[in-house]
Structure 1
């Protein structure tokens, strides 16, 4: 039976306050080691993190993809009694810097000024990495009171959109089969993200007939046909929100690739289509919309080859129900620390959608108060760190007790 002192919110918050300076120091060290997705080598930031984890009683491991590239840092904190496995997840890679001359402080400064810690990745999500490491170190000291396992998962392939670390962990050859839930440390104190719109990403290869653009014979160009297709897609009426899912579907043309130079009528135009799906407008409905619209446009251009549809990504929409243990544990823990984040379904998709496709419930955002996410002058409020740590600790004390 757990000693009440170790599940008491006041005692847990006191421990988080003791960790505060150390959390900020680790965050600074991680921010000062650039880990921009697809740009920087990850080995330096991995070394900083794994050295800290080892020095504080954790046993880190590094996951690699099939090419041998590192894609995640992990660690298990097993309890002495069998039970569920919960995963604390945060990304260790970051967005690019953008225009470095526009930053108030350099993006790898890790500077603390006026109560804010500055730098790329500070809020998304190196603060969460540091918080989760300190929380795990505290729980490792009390493993005899845990039922089940806490796993740390720090993805190094999140900002590429590939989510290689998560995919390697959850679907790799040694993937665990006992994951009960995942809590993702995306920043923001005002909300607990308990769902999100799904995503259906497709490339449409629109075909025309090539010819000399200055010739006497005019042929149907792929760009003109693609423009017609874009007009029809934009005119499509998507279903309104329904039930407890408050957001509508959304269709966006995100890239157009076609043509070269001036003298050739192009015979191929490729469109990237990003569709955000909902329970009322799901993956099947999105696929049917694309198929029907492209077929309609193809019939209007009878002298051209048909459009080819290549689906890139399919993730379902999801929402944790009110009685979800994961949702309830975090919201109750927040109330115990006098915080009242709103349970919210996000417009953008996130790794929670990927996990929903695997049948694994996930929260996808409660963390430090921030500004400048993926933008110039990214930073977070340092005084929000102890409460965030205490809320996750209190939730896990319930889930693993």
Structure 2
């Protein structure tokens, strides 16, 4: 894998947890076991295996209420360590304590694995039904990039889920996020502080940039850092997150077969002197193949028929506030506003929710879903 060695040499997983907040963490203490064949009811515990090349995990609490939650995790860089058997996402114990069974897929690939995430999650849901029984209610919950995959799932499978929850979610169509969330910040940084960001489309550009490299450049250019932070709704000290954007874009280019964003005619605003800035910005032409791949994986419509609860952090360095209202606006424009509940933002940092806040948000979802049954 092209990024694995660079990842281990240049960045520790601790560093990236600090920068992105996107890694899965502690496994549940219950031991993994083989799923009982044709069981009328599974015994409490954790059941793990592989479906179509994707590790999965199903956790069943002792007080199982008959409902299932499909849990969809966030972005994992290509080459990030993966445990076998699969470990559980941090929010899993919150749901188990409430009596829900939880099923989650590791996905068949890492990186911008939107297509795999949607397919593998649906495959795992069907596996649960065929191997066990149809749950009384099935919910889907995703965080970070998992939010995009949840939104796409409820649009694609409108009558499958009793309800959906997205926290700290990237719920922006892939083409728009690649343009506004990766290329715009990177070309802006390059225009204001040249010589740090490599050519975004060159085959020989590195797959990643150490966050420290960006941090040092920002420290040496405090005025430019302030301009970037204001325009991107960041803080100067969180702008090293640009290293994540760069890595995501480079990984996506490899997956899609070329540059997915064309900014040759884009007029940028808000980075100081607009005329001078637009003269300095590096311009890229897109690969039609890559643009098509981005649209396919995935473009949201806002057309939903499933109760959806959304919540963001009050400050999020990875998915800034400028993206938070995009999907709610799409849902309203599509005439689906009755299905949407947006909770007040809480927490300072990407996916910075307490267990109590996660539990409260999920309680809200169950109430909303119950009102529509």
TM-score, length-normalised on structure 2?
0.35
Greater Cα radius of gyration, structure 1 or 2: 1
Q: Which has the higher contact order (CA 8 A, sep 6+)?
A: 1
Higher strand share: 1
TM-score (norm 1): 0.33
Pick the structure with more helix per residue.
2
